[in-house]
């Protein structure tokens, strides 16, 4: 689903900043030789000569886990993390991650690895025309997840949440009742989430317990969202349902499914008339 371009195929200076794209409407960029004013505004330490940037319209947790895994494997550090009220129709947040590296090659490598990982982790973001549900588990949290969510480094970590916020509360409640886990972080419209209509919690514990809690939370959230629209589908499957240009055509997953069903009906009718 994502795309990484070869820089040798492009000759304009601006193209050097573009690394690739990934699921969840994510773009990956790299900046070398940071402008002094930009360095000051973003509070970038002098030791970092290059920046890797990950910016998404949909979701935050999938990106955070993906970048956590990438930083473990690359020579880079999280310098800045921000969330924004965004997510298009899906009622939640977008995100911005700025990663520091001492060399351009390290900055590019961490962005490429992050984009690859985001394509994997975003499978666990489920959307319909009114909201979204997400549930993620990583067996070993690293420094990025510790810095953002305060979870212990090296322990299993899971995040479950949904939008609208009421659905998220119900999903989190069922999740933590299902297994012995501890909540280490939470976000609500007025706490940690920049007034976004979402409720989400991060939990830690034994990997089996965290996984069970996340599975129960996901099931609860998806069932409740179905009362408001279609059964939520993974954002990785939306392009298959709707086509790659569904955003340009201003289509929701529900409309896509209706069109697909209508097309199947028409084709079936044509076959019967032959």
Q: How many CA atoms lie within 13 A of 148 on its CB side?
A: 29
273 is a domain residue: no
Do 4 and 116 fall into the same domain? yes
Do 54 and 147 fall into the same domain? no
Measured CA to CA, the distance from residue 185 to residue 192 in angstroms comes to 9
For residue 57, give the DSSP letter. Answer: S
Do 173 and 56 fall into the same domain? no
**How much is the pLDDT for 84?**
83
For residue 191, give the DSSP letter. Answer: B
Do 211 and 244 fall into the same domain? no
Model-level pTM? 0.83
- Give the residue numbers spanning the domain of 200: 128-231
Do 215 and 151 fall into the same domain? yes
The winner for highest mean pLDDT among 160-174, 191-205, 224-238, 247-261 is 160-174
156 is a domain residue: yes
Domain count, the chain: 3
Do 113 and 135 fall into the same domain? no
**How much is the pLDDT for 4?**
52
pLDDT tens string 40-63:
999 999 999 999 999 998 889 999
Q: Give the helix ranges, DSSP H, for the chain.
A: 36-42, 61-73, 104-121, 143-149, 165-178, 207-226, 235-242, 253-273
Do 105 and 132 fall into the same domain? no
pLDDT tens string 125-174:
998 888 899 999 999 999 999 999 999 999 999 999 999 999 999 999 99
User: Domain containing 220 — which CATH number?
Assistant: 3.30.70.1710
Report the candidate in 261, 240, 242, 263 with the shortest Cα–Cα distance to residue 251.
242
Instruction: Say whether pLDDT at 24 is over 80.
Output: yes
Residues forming a β-bridge with 56: 26, 95
Instruction: Say whether pLDDT at 85 is over 90.
Output: no
Measured CA to CA, the distance from residue 124 to residue 128 in angstroms comes to 13
274 is a domain residue: no
Return the SS3 of 50. Answer: strand
270 is a domain residue: no
């Amino acid at each position: 689903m994502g795309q990484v371009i070869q820089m040798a195929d492009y000759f304009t200076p601006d193209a050097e900043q573009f690394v690739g794209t990934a699921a969840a409407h994510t773009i990956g960029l790299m900046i070398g030789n940071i402008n002094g004013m930009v360095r000051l505004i973003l509070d970038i330490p002098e030791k970092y000569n290059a920046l890797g940037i990950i910016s998404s319209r949909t979701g935050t947790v999938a990106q955070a886990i993906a970048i956590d895994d990438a930083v473990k494997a690359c020579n880079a550090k999280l310098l800045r993390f921000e969330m924004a009220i965004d997510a298009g129709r899906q009622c939640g947040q977008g995100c911005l991650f700025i990663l520091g590296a001492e060399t351009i090659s390290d900055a590019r490598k961490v962005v490429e690895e992050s984009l690859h990982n985001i394509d994997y982790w975003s499978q666990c973001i489920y959307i319909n025309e009114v909201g979204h549900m997400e549930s993620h588990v990583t067996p070993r949290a690293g420094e990025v997840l510790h810095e953002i969510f305060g979870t212990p480094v090296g322990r299993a970590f899971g995040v479950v949440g949904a939008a609208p916020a009421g659905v998220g509360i119900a999903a989190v409640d069922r999740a933590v009742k299902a297994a012995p886990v501890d909540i280490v972080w939470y976000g609500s419209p007025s706490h940690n989430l920049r007034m976004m209509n979402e409720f989400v919690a991060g939990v830690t514990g034994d990997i089996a317990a965290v996984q069970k809690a996340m599975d129960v939370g996901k099931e609860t959230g998806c069932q409740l969202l179905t009362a408001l629209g279609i059964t939520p589908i993974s954002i990785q499957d939306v392009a298959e349902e709707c086509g790659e240009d569904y955003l340009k055509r201003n289509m929701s997953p529900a409309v896509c499914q209706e069109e697909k069903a209508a097309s199947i009906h028409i084709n079936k009718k044509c076959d019967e008339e032959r």
